[in-house]
Structures are given as C-alpha cells and as structure tokens.
C-alpha cells in the first residue's frame, strides 16, 4: 500500500516537474526542475527494485549532465524570454502533436481491449526476484566485482591514479621567474611599511 502511494506521488512529481521545465521563464529554474524530475525518476526506479540503475541515474544525469546544463546556462547569461509570445507562437503545432499522440494512445488501448477485454483485470504482478534470488542487483554486482573481477578493478584504479598524477605533474611549473605568494611576508608587514602618502609638488 505504501509503495503504491509513493509510486503515484513520485509519478505525479515527475510529470509536474517535467511540465515546469518547459513552462517557467527563468532558464536556471528550468534546469533545477529538470534535476527534480531526474531525482523523482530515480526514486521510481528504486521503488521498482532497480537500485543500481537508480544510483547511476543520479550520478550521471544529476551529478554530471544537469550540473553541466546549469553551468552553461549561468555562463551564457540567457535572458528571460516572454512566455506568452512564444506560447502563442508554438501553440498550434504543439496542440496538433499532442492530439496526434493522444489519438495513437487511444487506438492502442482500444485494440488491446478488443483483443482481450479482461486485460487489466487478469494482470497480476509476480516478484520473481524474491523467488529466484534474494540478493539485490547492487549486492550481485559487488560480489562479482570484488571477487572474480577484482584484479581488473584494481588495475583500472591504478591507471586512473597514474593519469591523475600525470596531469598534475604536467601542469606544474618549476620556473624561477614564476611569482609565488609568500604568506609569511604578507602577514609580517607593518602599517608603516605597507602604506605611504604621495604629495603633489606645487
């Protein structure tokens, strides 16, 4: 019962946030609503017991793509457009496409109901995961990754570490002409040595 309530609540949140992505005026708010829709969709995947895909969804889409969109929008300084003018401009095409999708969905549903009138009543969900294997997909991946595939996982980590150290070493400069910041000299300066008054000659 609780899972059904959470499923319908987050489904409504996904639809609402997706609609707000294309209706708000501020592009930064649009990206934030996009992040909210990604998080809601990942929670829906978590309710469907697909934990690995849910976590990857958050890491990839929320942690990388949505943040990249946000940085691009903030750097480009996109101006807020007039929503009413654009809405009236694209309303005929949007309404036509929406009506076409609605007709297609209704045709598919009527075809299913004509072939099987008791389709929705005869549908029953069977949790095969609990009957076949009690482990979640994250536990299964962890067992495979840290047992038989552990050498490859360790080699991949060492390669990434070496590449990171190589990038740091290549960006370092050892030139003597390079001006470095001396914290001790800055903090040991007195008021008389740091400020002086220039007087104009008459």
Q: Give me the number of domains the chain comprises.
A: 3
Q: Determine the structural domain holding residue 6 and report its residue range.
A: 1-80
* Same domain, residue pair 93 and 157: no
In a shared domain, residues 42 and 92: no
Q: What is the pLDDT of residues 14-55, one digit of tens each?
A: 999 999 988 887 888 888 899 899 999 999 988 887 888 888
CA–CA separation, 57 and 35 (whole Å) = 11
Q: What is the pLDDT of residue 173?
A: 64
Note the pLDDT of residue 99: 92
Q: Verify that 73 and 93 share a domain, yes or no.
A: no
The gap from C-alpha 111 to its chain's centroid, in whole angstroms, comes to 37
Residue 178 in any domain: the answer is no
Token duo for residue 160? 């990434």
- Per DSSP, helices labelled H in 24-82 are 27-47, 51-57, 67-76
| Residue 197 belongs to some domain of the structure | no
* Distance from C-alpha of 83 to C-alpha of 73, rounded to nearest angstrom: 18
Average pLDDT, the chain: 78
- The confidence band for 100, taking pLDDT boundaries of 50, 70 and 90, is very high
Kindly state the average pLDDT of the residues 182-191.
Answer: 74
Residue 83 has pLDDT above 60, yes or no: no
- Which residue do the tokens 């040991």 mark? 188
185 domain residue, yes or no: no
Q: What is the pLDDT confidence band of residue 119, given thresholds at 50, 70 and 90?
A: low
**In the chain, % of residues over pLDDT 90:** 11
């Amino acid at each position: 019962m609780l899972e059904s309530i959470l499923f319908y609540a987050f489904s409504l949140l996904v639809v609402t946030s997706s609609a707000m992505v294309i209706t708000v005026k501020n592009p930064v708010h649009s990206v934030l609503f996009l992040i909210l829709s990604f998080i809601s969709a990942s929670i829906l995947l978590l309710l469907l017991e697909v934990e690995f895909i849910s976590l990857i969804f958050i890491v990839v889409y929320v942690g990388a793509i949505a943040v990249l969109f946000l940085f691009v929008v903030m750097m480009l300084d996109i101006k807020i457009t007039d929503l009413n003018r654009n809405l009236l401009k694209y309303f005929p095409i949007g309404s036509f496409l929406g009506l076409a999708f609605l007709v297609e969905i209704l045709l598919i549903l009527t075809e299913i109901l004509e072939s099987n009138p008791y389709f929705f009543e005869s549908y029953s969900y069977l949790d095969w995961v609990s009957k076949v294997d009690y482990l979640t997909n994250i536990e299964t991946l962890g067992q495979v990754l840290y047992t038989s595939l552990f050498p490859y996982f360790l080699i991949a980590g060492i390669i990434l570490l070496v590449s990171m150290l190589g990038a740091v070493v290549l960006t370092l400069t050892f030139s003597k002409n390079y001006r470095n910041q001396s914290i001790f000299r800055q903090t040991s300066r007195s008021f008389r040595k740091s400020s002086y008054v220039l007087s104009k000659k008459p």
